[in-house]
């Protein structure tokens, strides 16, 4: 199921949402859902590179299959987004059974540090860059740069966030950057629809203290390794000049 299919099938506009869901969106710091007029306007303001990245995310995103599978769901989507051959081998359930359980990566959930371990196990074809700090200024500067690289310059990369939302830790991919706002494709579609938050709101939730680990949360950037990028270029069809 794609993001667009899920939204079209079940999501009314932000103003028409059930009061409880609207309250939870407000609590999560959402300024709009993807189907609101404001959300659609933010999407339209993205450059072509950002629009293309968003469309790719819509094709690969999948909802988490169980309550604690936000990390595996984000990872599977990222593998598909990057077009890695290993994406066909991994499912959320297999990641849970063959990576998370044997490595004992669950604490009260999948922490930031353990999520990084999970991602590094899944493939040697991409590089994992981790960013975690209590310093909101530092995280904001780095995240803004990474968002610009992904959604303005069109670089081949994924951003997965481990943040606090609605009182608990959560993993989700980012699928847009527009006018100082970030589009979160929440992996728990039963809880929250895709929604826009301000950069400041997201940064605050990334830098929050995690009582289980006594560390902040954070985000990761996944980029294809150089050898993988070279192989993908070789597999791409060549167009003769004329």
Give the predicted TM-score (pTM) of the model.
Answer: 0.88
| Beta-sheet strand order (sheet of 195-198) | 30-33, 195-198, 181-184, 168-178, 157-165, 218-224, 126-131
| pLDDT (tens digit per residue) in 102-138 | 999 998 889 999 999 999 999 888 899 999 999 999 9
Q: How far apart, in whole angstroms, are the C-alpha atoms of residue 240 and residue 225? A: 28
Cα 182 to its chain centre, rounded Å, is: 10
Beta partners for residue 174, in sequence order? 184
Percent of the chain with pLDDT over 90: 70
Quote the pLDDT of residue 11. Answer: 42
| pLDDT (tens digit per residue) in 52-108 | 999 999 999 999 999 899 999 999 999 999 999 888 899 999 999 999 999 999 988
How long, in residues, is the chain?
Answer: 242
Give the helix, strand, coil percentages of the chain, each rounded to 5: 45, 20, 35
């Amino acid at each position: 199921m794609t993001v667009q299919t899920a939204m079209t099938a079940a999501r009314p506009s932000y103003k028409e949402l059930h009061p409880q869901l609207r309250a939870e969106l407000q609590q999560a710091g959402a300024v709009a859902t993807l189907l609101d007029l404001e959300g659609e306007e933010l999407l339209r303001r993205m450059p072509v590179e950002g629009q293309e990245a968003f469309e790719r995310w819509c094709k690969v995103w999948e909802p988490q299959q169980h309550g604690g599978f936000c990390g595996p769901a984000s990872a599977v989507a990222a593998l598909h987004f990057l077009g890695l051959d290993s994406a066909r081998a991994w499912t959320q359930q297999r990641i849970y059974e063959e990576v998370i359980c044997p490595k004992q990566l669950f604490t009260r959930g999948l922490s930031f540090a353990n999520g990084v371990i999970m991602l590094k196990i899944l493939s040697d074809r991409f590089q994992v860059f981790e960013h975690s700090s209590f310093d909101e200024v530092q995280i904001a500067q780095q995240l803004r740069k990474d968002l610009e690289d992904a959604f303005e310059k069109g670089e081949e990369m994924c951003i997965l966030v481990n943040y606090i939302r609605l009182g608990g830790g959560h993993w989700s991919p980012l699928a847009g950057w527009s006018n100082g706002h970030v589009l979160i494709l929440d992996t728990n579609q039963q809880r929250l629809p895709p929604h826009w938050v301000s950069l400041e709101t997201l940064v605050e939730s990334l830098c929050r203290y995690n009582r289980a680990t006594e560390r902040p949360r954070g985000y990761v950037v996944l980029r294809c390794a150089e050898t993988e990028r070279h192989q993908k270029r070789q597999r791409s069809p060549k167009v003769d000049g004329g």
